[in-house]
Amino acid sequence: SNPCPSANKTANFLFLLKIIYVSFIFMTLFLTRERRMPRRKTVQPLPLQIIECDEFFIEVRDRSTALIGRGLHAKEDFSGTLDEILDFITPEAFLKKSDKNWHYREHDCLKKSAAFVRYCELKGIDREAGALRKRYYPAVKIWLKAVRAALEE
Give per-residue pLDDT as tens, 86-144: 999 998 888 888 777 888 888 888 999 999 999 999 999 988 999 999 999 999 999 99
pLDDT band at 5 (very low <50, low <70, confident <90, very high): low
Q: Quote the pLDDT of residue 2.
A: 57
For strand 94-96 and strand 57-60, is the pairing parallel, antiparallel, or unpaired? Answer: unpaired
What does the alpha-carbon distance between residue 143 and residue 153 come to, in Å, rounded to a whole number? 16
- Give yes or no for residue 36 having a pLDDT over 70: no
Residue 25: pLDDT over 90:
no
- Sequence-separated (6 or more) residues with CB below 8 Å from residue 110: 89, 93, 116, 140, 141, 144
pLDDT score, position 58: 92
For the chain, the average pLDDT equals 86
Q: Which residue has the higher pLDDT, 70 or 121?
A: 121
Average pLDDT over residues 2-10: 71
Specify the higher pLDDT residue, 88 or 9. Answer: 88
Let me know: does 112 contact 147? Beta carbons within 8 Å: no
22 pLDDT exceeds 80? yes
Contact yes or no for 107/92 (Cβ under 8 A): yes
Task: Please compute the mean of the pLDDT values over residues 27-40 and round it to a whole number.
Answer: 70
